[in-house]
A and B are shown apart, each in its own frame.
Chain A
Amino acid sequence: MRIPIAATGAVLLACGAAALAAGLGAFGAAAADGPLLDPALARFAGGHGWFLPVAAGVAEVLALAGQLWLVVQVRRVVHRWWPDVDPETRIRARAAADDLNRDARAMPGVRDCGVRLSGTADRPRLLLRLACAGDTLISEVYGELGAGPVERYREAVGMPDLPVVIRFRPDLPRPPRRHRAQPEPA
């Protein structure tokens, strides 16, 4: 989604910079003191019959592209919480998530586990959040999870290539803030 953002930014920057240049007199003092909606533009549109329909068509296409962009983003947000899979897979995923949760909690150092299937039918994701002790052997837990429990989850939901995204959250207290030494009472 970065390309449409960059295109929008480039167009806005170019328009803003051109307006700044016009206002500061880069195109001549007459242009700087001229109205924003120049009567010459209306005359041009009146003299060329094709201009307004073509401009309207371009604006319409851009508006449709914007709507499509909006729909894609809303769809992505919705499917982050509500995966786009059939009801049967959803039921199997729920049962498999319980197994995965139990297996993950049994690993050394793991205190809590959150499992969520997300994404669209063509791009599903399994999201795992693991809360663990501060000195957990994270590399080993990471490898073992992928080799055992996650593989069983993939088999259970029938998605052998399901990508899994694991986030580790070591359970460590915030470091204490440094306090200025208080003068001792006399």
Chain B
Amino acid sequence: MAEMLVRDLIEEEHNRRQARRLAVREFRPRRAFAGFAGALLVTTGCGVAAIELLAAALGSGVHPVPGVAAVADALRRHTWRDVLPAAGAITFAGAAFLLAALPGRLRGVPLAGSDPRQAGAIGRTALRRTVADAALGVPGIERARVRGPGPFRGVLVVRVTTGYRNPANLADLVRQAVGARLDRIEPMRRPQVDVRLGWRRD
């Protein structure tokens, strides 16, 4: 009986991990533009270089690719000092490609689940709006703005304003309402909720 329970627990944890992996793989940014740009750059650059080098290796005195003669002429005339802006641009492009290769933030907030074949998410903006909607449902709250969850700490900052002069336990009520709404969504990593309440002071 105990062995069965332990096996079930291990299997469930394994399934959860697989589901998390699928969600991360599916909702990670694809970097399609950087991929296309890099592939086009490598294909055209190396293709032109290969044709020119082959022509030179075969002893041909002409440049088969149109425009390369002018480029080769410019390369002979200019010094390294002349091409500092171009070198800077190439360095910048390289840094941009390297930055694009970083994993990046997931597109949406993944939902908790234990099916390894299923991944779900709710958009970040949609989560913020639904949390703000929950906060506005608390009597006395007139305005609600939500920020986050951030990429590092994952804190959901809920700024609410009431027209009351005595806020009493409104912050707790808002926290409860937001918690209840998050319970209805069940994100994979439940964000911490930081409620900041403003009230009338005149």
Contact = CB atoms under 8 A, between A and B. Distances in A.
Interface residues of B, number: 78
Main DSSP-derived SS at the B contact region: helix
Contacts, number: 240
B50 A59 contact: yes
A126 to B, nearest CB: 9
B152 interface: no
A62 B98 contact: no
Given A4-B38, A59-B53, A137-B184, A16 B94 contact: yes
B197 interface: no
27 contacts: A6-B101, A8-B94, A9-B98, A9-B99, A9-B101, A12-B91, A16-B89, A19-B86, A24-B84, A32-B81, A35-B75, A56-B57, A62-B46, A62-B50, A65-B42, A69-B43, A73-B32, A73-B39, A134-B129, A135-B133, A137-B184, A139-B112, A142-B186, A165-B120, A166-B111, A168-B120, A178-B143
Interface of B: 22, 26, 30-32, 34-36, 38-44, 46-47, 49-50, 53-54, 56-57, 72, 75-84, 86-103, 108, 111-113, 115, 117-123, 126, 129-130, 132-134, 143-145, 181, 183-186
B34 A5 contact: yes
Interface string A1-34: 1111110111111111101101111000001111
Listed from nearest, the 3 A-B pairs whose CB atoms lie closest are: A9-B97, A13-B94, A16-B91
A113 B32 CA distance: 26
